[in-house]
């Protein structure tokens, strides 16, 4: 997994990111319930990827 994907994955796990996505969505006229629903789906997708993708072994 590339570094940018790891950063995004880690950010999506943070509650402040979910809140930020909701605020951005409502700023553009999307109902708050819809933005939180989308944020939850994105977080669930990130969680599934975290389970499915193998971690690289660290060299000692």
Within the chain, strands assigned E span none
Cβ-based neighbours of 17, under 8 Å, separated by 6 or more = 11, 39
Q: For the chain, what is the mean pLDDT? A: 78
pTM of whole model > 0.75?
A: no
What is the pLDDT at residue 16? 79
Round to whole Å and give the CA distance between 13 and 2.
17
Each residue's pLDDT tens digit, 12-39: 778 777 778 778 888 888 887 887 787 7
What percent of the residues of the chain are helix, what percent strand, and what percent coil, each to the nearest 5? Answer: 75, 0, 25
What is the pLDDT at residue 1? 65
Cβ-based neighbours of 3, under 8 Å, separated by 6 or more = none
């Amino acid at each position: 997994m590339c570094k940018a994907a790891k950063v995004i994955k880690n950010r999506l796990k943070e509650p402040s990111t979910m809140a930020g996505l909701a605020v951005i969505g409502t700023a553009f006229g999307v109902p708050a319930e819809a933005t939180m629903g989308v944020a939850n789906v994105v977080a669930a997708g990130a969680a599934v990827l975290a389970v499915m993708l193998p971690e690289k072994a660290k060299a000692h």
